[in-house]
Every structure is written in C-alpha cells, then in structure tokens.
Amino acid sequence: MIIQGNFIGDVPYFVVHIESSYFHGDVRFLADTGASITTLLDRDYLLLRIPFTALEPLMLPVVGIGGSVRSFTIKNVKFTFNSDNGPYIIQQDLCIALHDLEKLPAPEASRLMRLPSVLGRDILNRFNLSYNYKTGIIQLEDR
C-alpha cells in the first residue's frame, strides 16, 4: 500500500481527509520528521470551522515555529489517506496549536497564518517514508 504525496516548490505535502463529530475536510499537511506530533495550525483550524468548544486543553505546551502557542486536542479524529489500494484510515487524537493572532501586529499574524499544519512522527513512523526531490517522489508505504 502506497500513499503518494506531492511537492509544492521543494516542500513535501500529503493531503489527508480528517473528520470528527465536530468537523471534516481535507488538509494539506507538511511532512515534518522534526515534529513529534501531527498538529493542525491556525489557518486550517479556521478553514475547517472547528468550534472552540470542541477543543480540550493539553497540559503540555507546544513550542515550535512561531514560538509558544495555546495547545489543544480533539479525541478520536479519523485520518483518511488515499492510497493505491483505496482509503487508508488511522484514528487518533489530533493536536491543535493556536497563536494569539489578535494580540500580534498584522504582518506577524499574516505570516503565522501561512504556516502549514504538520504531519508528525506519530503518523510518519507507521510507514516507510520515501523522499526524493530530484525525481519528485514523496510517499508513505505501509510496513
């Protein structure tokens, strides 16, 4: 079973359909082996119109690009990948990291809104990851 990703410029992405009882939609996740957990960021949170009441605060803060953020989780989110053998489904909790955009200068808030959500090692480590920018191949293969 192989899940194909694609490069936008030189950045590797996978499109994943995510859903819970609160929302559903496609998200373009950046494949990030430096991220320990898959995390939805501000832009995708707003695009999916996830109600704030659906979020459960995480006890541990998330720190990454853009500094410290408010971190939340949504339990039992269904991640559906398109593979060469049809849908491939993973069900797990989803981390959501939100910046205080209202408190930031407009240029900084705009920059943060361009940050992509990340597909972290909690999902990537379930697969063999093939990455070859020269040939345009970015794919996940079920082990």
Residue 93 counted as domain residue: yes
What is the number of structural domains in the chain? 1
Domain that holds residue 41: 2-127
What pLDDT shows up at residue 109?
Answer: 67
Supply the pTM of this predicted model: 0.89
DSSP 8-state code for residue 61: P
Q: Answer whether 125's CB lies under 8 Å from 143's CB.
A: no
> What 3-state class would DSSP assign to 131?
strand
The type of residue at 72 is F
Has residue 71 been placed in a domain? yes
Residue 142 lies in a domain: no
pLDDT tens track for 38-97: 999 999 999 999 999 999 998 776 666 656 678 899 999 999 999 999 999 999 999 998
Beta bridge partners of 68: 63
pLDDT digits (tens, 9 = 90+) for 12-37: 999 999 999 999 999 999 999 999 99
Give the model's pLDDT for residue 108: 72
Average the pLDDT over 113-142 and give the result. 93
Q: Is 55 within 8 Å of 73 (Cβ atoms)?
A: yes
Residues composing the chain: 143
